[in-house]
Amino acid sequence: MSEDLWAPHALHAPSAPHLPEAADEAPAPGSVTLIIPTFNESGNIDELLSRLAAALPAHLPVSVLFVDDSTDDTPAVIEKAALDCAFPVEVLHRESPDGGLGGAVVEGIGRADTDWIVVMDADLQHPPHLVPELVGEGARTGADLVVASRYIAGGSRAGLAGNYRIAVSRGATWLTKGLFPRALRGISDPMSGFFAMRRSAVTEEALKPLGYKILLELAVRCRPARVAEVPFVFQDRFSGESKSTAREGLRFLTHLASLRSSTPLARMIGFGLIGLSGFVPNLAALWMLTHTGMNYLVAEVVANQAGVLWNFLLIETLLFRDRRRHRHWADRLGRFTLLANADLLLRIPLIAVFVGTWGFGVLSATALALVTTFVLRFAATEALVYLPRKAGRTHTS
């Protein structure tokens, strides 16, 4: 990934990375890195920096880092506007927008060397005057995470345009709260993109962002010990158009599935449910093949591959999205198909052993064999298809 870092206020070269002056240097007390991900937001930059300049108190050591995925002149607009700012402003332009907005924030976190990280959008729907209040609330309460919430007293979602977006936002909030009741305890607005978090509470290596809901990612994977909230009124967009699309909605659902299946037990349950869903394409293919005149035994074998392919696609997307880079997709598919078909070959001998040697009834032997081969197939799939190789090349496809 090619990156350019412009630092109008820095004395080092524009392409130099943003690093602490010394490896053992502690951050200034209460220091803040304000991370603002941008994608074609040139019309908002001047007003955003102007409002930040008016809102940030002189005693608060703040630096602003724009992580930019734009295809327009947003980086140049930031560079020009930053010359008039009293606080440091940097631009990290990413040629490859890996992980979307969430990936941009994680890139920014990796460069932050301050006590606090504040994340906000560039479109001014997040009011800049709340930045010092978020950090102040964290210092006052000892919280690791302070969320600007639309859903507590004093907050409002007024800037959400139309009943459809309001319904989608509310539905997403209920869904995430239902899926992660413990991780999101104390967070009334997990869909908020406006929050402050202590840098020490962020385990950067654990983050696997996808799309724009980075607060959810941080809360679930980093599990901050103490959470506080500050009410805010969601504003109208100052300039430009919303980046929310149906595609982002699908990425959000995929992200939810990935987060929910992050533990071995959850992955095993998901693996089983996906396996059950594979009966639908399997039976549909069997019906079509037998109605074309194919022998039913041959059709059984061919139709089973339809179910295998269905299962592979869902498992790739929902369970092991973050582990796909270790092998080429064809290698993964071949291994998965081999294991899925070996399951059939193993099940019959197991049933014979359970019935003939251990005296099980046919139905109980079949049920036990199904459970046994399922557990073995899940373990083999994780170990032989999706775990990193011990050595050698990795693939990104």
Q: Determine the Cα–Cα distance for residues 335 and 246; give it in Å rounded to an integer.
A: 33
Which residues in 73-89 are b (16+ Cβ under 10 Å) and which e? Answer: ebbebbbebbeebebbb
Record: fold of 3-260: Spore Coat Polysaccharide Biosynthesis Protein SpsA; Chain A (3.90.550)
pLDDT, one tens digit per residue, over 229-244 is 999 998 888 776 766 6
Rounded mean pLDDT of the chain?
81
pLDDT in tens, 66-75: 999 999 999 9
What pLDDT, on a 0 to 100 scale, did the predictor assign at position 164? Answer: 61
Q: Give the start-to-end residue ranges of the domains of the chain.
A: 3-260, 264-386
What would the mean pLDDT of 268-288 be, rounded to a whole number?
83
Distance CA 373, CA 350 (A): 9
CA atoms 138, 143, 148, 153: torsion sign: negative
Helix (H, G, I), strand (E, B) or coil at 24: coil
Q: Name the nearest CA neighbour of 193 among 107, 69, 102.
A: 102
Q: Is the pLDDT reported for residue 317 higher than 70?
A: yes
Give the number of other CB atoms < 10 A from CB of residue 180. 18
pLDDT digits (tens, 9 = 90+) for 103-162: 889 899 989 999 999 999 999 999 999 999 999 999 999 999 999 999 999 988 776 655
Calpha distance 193→119 (Å, rounded)? 7
SS3 (DSSP) at 242: coil
Following DSSP, what letter does each residue of 176-237 receive, concatenated? HHHH-TTTTTT-S-TT---EEEEGGG--GGG----SS-HHHHHHHHH--S-EEEEE-BPPPP
pTM: 0.66
Task: Tell me the average pLDDT across 307-324.
Answer: 84
> What integer pLDDT is reported at residue 212 of this predicted model?
66
Parallel, antiparallel or unpaired: strands 62-68 and 89-94: parallel
| C-alpha of 22 from chain center | 32
Band of residue 101 on the pLDDT scale cut at 50, 70, 90: confident
| Cβ neighbourhood burial of 239 (10 Å; 0-12, 13-18, 19+) | middle
DSSP state of 116: E
Eight-state DSSP code of residue 19: -
pLDDT value, residue 280: 86
Q: How many CB atoms are closer than 10 A to CB 44?
A: 22
Other beta carbons less than 10 A from residue 103's beta carbon: 25
Amino acid (1-letter code) at residue 54: A
Residue-wise DSSP of 126-155 = S-GGGHHHHHHHHHHHT-SEEEEESSSTT-
87 falls in which pLDDT band (50, 70, 90)?
very high
Q: Is pLDDT at 395 greater than 60 in this prediction?
A: no
The closest alpha carbon to 34, from 186, 143, 196, belongs to: 196
Q: What is the pLDDT of residue 17?
A: 35
Give the contacts of 338 (CB within 8 A, at least 6 positions apart).
Answer: none
Alpha-carbon distance of 309 to 58, in angstroms, equals 60
Residue pair 285/329 in contact by the 8 Å Cβ criterion: no
